[in-house]
Amino acid sequence: MNIFFVSSEVNPFVKVGGLADVAGALPKALSKLGCSVSVVMPGYRQIDFQGKSPSKFQKVLDVPLGYGNETADVDKLSLMKGLDLYLINNGAYFQRESPYDFPDDKRRFIFFSRASYELARILQPDIIHCNDWHTAIIPGYVRYFWDKEPVGTLFSIHNLAYQGVCDRDMFLYSSLPESAFNPEEVEYYGKFNIMKAGIVYSDMINTVSPTYAEEIKTPEFGCGLDGLLKKRSDALVGILNGIDEDEFNPGNDKYLPIKFTLDTIDKKEDVKKFLLEKLGLSYHKGAPLLSFIGRLWDQKGIDILVQAIPELMDKDVYMIILGTGSEYYHKTLEQMREAYPGKISINLKFDNELAHLIYGGSDFFLMPSKFEPCGLGQMIAMKYGTIPVVRGVGGLKDTVKEGETGFVFFDYTYTALLESIDRALNLYWNDRDGFYNMRKRVMLEDHSWDSSAKKYMELYSKILDLKRGV
Ligand code: ADP
């Protein structure tokens, strides 16, 4: 089966969030299962080619859009047998100081989508697999313009909160037919909603956990699209993400100064000591280390975490926070750093190496998310024997079981968060065997891509059967 997998970020070439992890790992797992996968992403300035050199695949790719013909050129990099990376290059759109966050992002990703669609016409895959709003318009192009052998489309929702809503002039730029601008298709209260195109026109839709697939059909989590998602519920499924075990493995993690496995689990304490000292906190035995890694936005529950910190700091615990996000939380956390010297380490940056060390050296990993499509942090933490404390929403609910593989709270309040942390600390201080048993249990959980990749294969087959009218 030939899969054309389109994503705005792909690990390890460019990573901003969890989407890159998925776009890096799932295609690899699919190609190991025998698929031939073409991964397509923009040719950003920030790409780290990992020492390899891409070759020119297409010197001039015509990209027909609303304001006339534009062009891209396409590079290709072979990653392994059955797995190629294609880069859509256009200097004006992608040679900038960061991958996202420009006023013309909608235009940039409409361009990327149309260029990817034109590349798909050349490669003629069996399935075009699109991810999040950046690529959601591609199934619309397929619906209206595809002129080759039938192709199936899958749209994956990694985060419904970002929908690419923009003015009608971007719809005109997209070059979808005028008739598509109606509330049944891509219009959204007079605006153009790019995410809607993915939901309306794809053969099948999936989200990244079974619970989130249910949640988004409700007003609380549906971000205004719950009605449409309910309407398409026959075509909507949830498949849990996995983690890339080549990258996240305490037994051979290049960033850990001391490696450990289930059999040498005691060495985890040495990683903790190394980590604390690296961050200027002096280690003493018996004080657990609680950590948080993630975007500093309300989605991640940073507001209730900040409220809980003063009470937490009264206890004999350490805390490490790594993340970037809103200016407000940067300032608030800087104040926490001043208030609790020697107990809390605040790291306001994106730092992959430090993230690995934190996963490796922590005792507990906090994810108090308001909503969480899947969440990778809790699964990565488990792989390193770090016990998750999470809010029971979305993929967190699907991956963490209270008292067995972590601690779960439900009310979105700092008091509920503190209560779940107290249960965790009680285990740590008062039931050492129970704590070590849980630590071992979480390490044994299978969050590899193997089983999820098989589910994607089944979904692709189902789509092809639908196309063939089987
Ligand atoms: P998101 O909603 O951001 O996609 P996920 O939990 O699905 O959240 O994935 C986030 C990924 O990004 C994880 O691999 C996490 O370790 C990583 N990450 C988040 N913030 C940082 C940071 N500041 N430094 C390093 N890695 C980070």
Q: Tell me the DSSP string of 308-359.
A: HHHHHHTSS-EEEEE--B-HHHHHHHHHHHHHSTTTEEEE-S--HHHHHHHH
What would the DSSP string read from start to end of 173-187? Answer: HHT--GGG-STTTTE
Name the closest-CA residue to atom 19, ligand 1. Answer: 294
Domain 2-242+450-468 shares a fold with domain 262-446 = yes
For domain 262-446, which CATH number applies: 3.40.50.2000, 3.30.365.10, 3.40.1210.10, 3.20.20.20?
Answer: 3.40.50.2000
> What's residue 419's pLDDT?
98
Distance 151 CA to ligand 1 centre (A): 33
Flag whether the pTM goes above 0.85. yes
Domain ranges in the chain?
2-242+450-468, 262-446
At 242 the three-state DSSP class reads coil
> What's residue 211's pLDDT?
97
At 438 the three-state DSSP class reads helix
**d(Cα 464, Cα 461) in Å, to the nearest integer?**
5
Distance 294 CA to ligand 1 centre (A): 5
**d(Cα 249, Cα 383) in Å, to the nearest integer?**
7
Nearest in space to 258 (alpha carbons), one of 248, 269, 247: 269
Answer whether 71's CB lies under 8 Å from 63's CB: yes
> What's residue 244's pLDDT?
86
pLDDT tens digits, one per residue of 247-289: 899 999 999 999 999 999 999 999 999 999 999 999 999 999 9
For domain 2-242+450-468, which CATH number applies: 3.40.50.2000, 3.40.640.10, 3.40.50.300, 3.30.1700.10?
Answer: 3.40.50.2000
Pairing of strands 83-89, 68-80: antiparallel
Q: Given ligand 1 and candidates 26, 241, 293, which is best to mutate, with the most ligand atoms within 8 Å of its CB? A: 293
Answer whether 114's CB lies under 8 Å from 64's CB: yes
Cβ count within 10 A of residue 66: 16
Nearest in space to 144 (alpha carbons), one of 170, 117, 109, 126: 117
pLDDT tens digits, one per residue of 442-466: 999 999 998 899 999 999 999 999 9
- CB of 322 closer than 6 A to ligand 1? yes
Distance 18 CA to ligand 1 centre (A): 6
Name the closest-CA residue to atom 26, ligand 1. Answer: 352
**pLDDT, averaged in runs of 10, over the chain (470 residues):** 98 93 95 97 96 96 93 97 97 97 97 98 98 98 96 97 97 97 97 98 98 97 97 97 91 97 97 97 95 94 97 97 96 96 96 97 98 96 98 98 98 98 98 97 95 96 89
Q: Which tokens hold the place of 135?
A: 């690529």
Distance 350 CA to ligand 1 centre (A): 9
- CB of 429 closer than 6 A to ligand 1? no
- CB of 376 closer than 6 A to ligand 1? yes
**d(Cα 266, Cα 155) in Å, to the nearest integer?**
43
